[in-house]
Structure 1
C-alpha cells in the first residue's frame, strides 16, 4: 500500500492506495504555510491513520530539482528551499517521494486516463495558469532543474492573433519574463484578453458561459486565445512527439474549448492526424492523488 497526498497552498488531501485506481480518502486539512513542524505533524497524523509504516508519495505545487531534491514552492514558505522528501522521510521514518503536481497529472493521465496504453504523453494544464508534464514509457521526465514540460514560460507569445488579426501586448509574467504563454493562456489569460479586446472585467467562467450561449464578444476572445495557444502547443508537440495531449485544469473540463484547440494544433503540426490529439482530461476527480499513487507504485515498489 502507498499513502498518497495532493498538497497545495490551501489544503492537504490524502488517500490510501492499494493501486493507482483504488483510492480510499483519508481526509483533508489546511496546509500549514509558515510552520514546518506543523506541516510534518499534519502529514504524520493522516499517514499514521492510514498505515503507520507504508511509504508516502506526494503530488505538490512547486518545482523539485531532481539533482538535489530541493523544492521551490513560493506559496508554502515553510518548505520552500528544503529537500522535502529527505526532510519528511527523516521526520516520519518512512520512504517519501515528492513530485510536481503537473507531472503527477501527466502521469495519472498516462497510467489511468486518456493516455493509457500510449508511449508518450504530454499533460497540458490550462487552469489558473499554464503548465505541463511529460511522461515517456510510464515515467515522468523532469529534465534539468525539474522544469521539463513548463510550456507556459518563455517569451514566445504572439503579438498578433485572431481573424482579423488584433495586436496583443507583451504582458509581464509572474516568472519575471515578458510575453510568456502563461500571460495569455488559461483562466487569467482569458480574462486579460477579454479586457484588452472589449474593456470588460469578467471571470473566465462567465466568459466561457457567455461564449457557449452565443455571445459575440466572448466568441472573439476565445478565437484569439485559441490562436495564441495553438502555436506554442504545436511546437511542444513537434519537439516532444506525444501520442496524446490530455488537458487538465478548468479549461480541460470545457470540451468545446479543447475541441477547438485540438483542431488548431493539428493544423500547425508536422504529423498529420485525422483523430483528436489534444483531448479533455479523463481524470477530473483527484488527478493529483492518482498521480501520486502512480508515482509511488512505479518508483517505490520497483
Structure 2
C-alpha cells in the first residue's frame, strides 16, 4: 500500500493505492508554484490523510522531466521545484521512499499495464491535450531516455509544409521549446485553434471546432482534414521507429472517438507494417491515469526495478 500523487500546474491530487486496480482517491489541493516549503507541506498534508501503512512510500506523476542520471527535475510549470533533486528533497522533508515519473510516462504505463495496451510488449502512449506529449513502455517498464527525454514526439522541426486535400500551406509556427515547425504547434488543442485561425481567419475553441465538424460544418471539416494529416505523419514515423503494437491516445482530443479513428486510419496507411487491426485507439483508463501510473511505479516490489529503463 502506498500514497500516490498526480501533480500538475494547477492541482495536486492524491490517492491510496492498495493495488493497481484498487486506487482510492484522497484529496485535491491547489499546487503551490513559487514556494517549495508550501509545496512540500501540501504533499505532507495529503500524506497525513492516508492510512499509516501507506505513508512509507510515495509515487509521483508530475508535469516535468526527471533526469535519470542526476535526479534533477526540469519543470517550467512549477518554478519552486525546477532544478531540484525532488525525490531526495521530499524524502528528507517527508520521510519514506519517493519515486517520480513524468505524467505522460505514467499515462503510458497505466495504459500498457491495465488499459488499452494490455497484451502488447511495446506501447506508445500519445497525448493530444493542450499540447502534444507521449510516453514509451516496453515490457512493462517506462523508457526514460537520455536526460529523461523519450516519447516527446511533439517536438522537433517535422511539421509538413502542406496538409489536407487539396493541400493548404502550413507555416512553421514558433514553438515554446525554442524551435519552429514542431508538431506541438498544430497537434494539440491550442494547435488546432491556431490551424483553424490560419485557414479561416476565425477564432474558435478546439471544442467548438470538433463539435462543428461532428455536425457537418465545412470550415471545421477543412481544419480537421489538415489536422489529422499533420498529426498522422509524425505518429506513423514514431510507430515505425519504436515498433509499437498499439497507441492509446489520451488528452482532451483523445476523448473524441471519431477523431481518433480518423488518425488511426491514416496512420495505418503510412506505417511499414500492414494491419487491419486498430492501432491508434482511445485510452481506457477510468481512474486518473497519472495516479494509476504512479501506483504501478510505487508498488513495484524491487526499488531498483521501479526505476525507468535506460535509453
For the aligned pair, the TM-score class normalised by the smaller chain equals over 0.9
**Whole-angstrom distance in 2 between the partners of 1:218 and 1:259:** 17
**Comparing 50-59 with 224-233, which one deviates more in the overlay?**
50-59
Moved over 2 A (4+): 51-54, 298-302
**1:284 Cα deviation after fit:** 4.9
2:281 corresponds in structure 1 to: 279
Number of aligned residues: 302
For normalisation by structure 1, the TM-score amounts to 0.98
1:111 aligns with 2:116: no
**Whole-angstrom distance in 2 between the partners of 1:217 and 1:59:** 38
Asked if 1 retains the 8 angstrom alpha-carbon contact of 2:61 and 2:100, the reply is yes
**1:295 Cα deviation after fit:** 1.1
Give the secondary structure class of the aligned counterpart of 1:78: helix
1:36 corresponds in structure 2 to: 36
Residues 58-99 of structure 1 show CA distances to partners (whole Å, capped at 9, x for unaligned) of: 000011111111111111111000010111011111100011
2:220 corresponds in structure 1 to: 218
2:15 corresponds in structure 1 to: 15
**Whole-angstrom distance in 1 between the partners of 2:146 and 2:181:** 23
Unpaired segments of 5 or more residues in structure 1?
none
**Whole-angstrom distance in 1 between the partners of 2:126 and 2:285:** 13
Q: Say if 1:180 and 1:284 are closer, same or farther in 2 by CA, change over 3 A.
A: farther
**Comparing 115-124 with 43-52, which one deviates more in the overlay?**
43-52
Structural mapping, 1:80-229, within 5 Å: 80-229=82-231
**Whole-angstrom distance in 2 between the partners of 1:285 and 1:291:** 10
Residues 8-31 of structure 1 show CA distances to partners (whole Å, capped at 9, x for unaligned) of: 011000000011121111100111
**1:285 Cα deviation after fit:** 3.6
Asked if 1 retains the 8 angstrom alpha-carbon contact of 2:64 and 2:102, the reply is yes
1:236 aligns with 2:238: yes
Asked if 1 retains the 8 angstrom alpha-carbon contact of 2:58 and 2:97, the reply is yes
Asked if 2 retains the 8 angstrom alpha-carbon contact of 1:248 and 1:284, the reply is no
1:6 aligns with 2:3: no
Unpaired segments of 5 or more residues in structure 2?
306-311
**1:54 Cα deviation after fit:** 2.6
2:295 corresponds in structure 1 to: 293
Asked if 1 retains the 8 angstrom alpha-carbon contact of 2:4 and 2:15, the reply is yes
**Whole-angstrom distance in 2 between the partners of 1:204 and 1:54:** 43
Asked if 2 retains the 8 angstrom alpha-carbon contact of 1:55 and 1:300, the reply is no
**1:51 Cα deviation after fit:** 3.2
2:309 corresponds in structure 1 to: none
1:248 corresponds in structure 2 to: 250
Asked if 1 retains the 8 angstrom alpha-carbon contact of 2:56 and 2:95, the reply is no
**Whole-angstrom distance in 2 between the partners of 1:224 and 1:294:** 37
**1:116 Cα deviation after fit:** 1.1
Q: Say if 1:158 and 1:284 are closer, same or farther in 2 by CA, change over 3 A.
A: farther
**1:298 Cα deviation after fit:** 2.4
1:50 corresponds in structure 2 to: 50
Asked if 2 retains the 8 angstrom alpha-carbon contact of 1:7 and 1:13, the reply is yes
**1:300 Cα deviation after fit:** 5.3
RMSD: 1.0
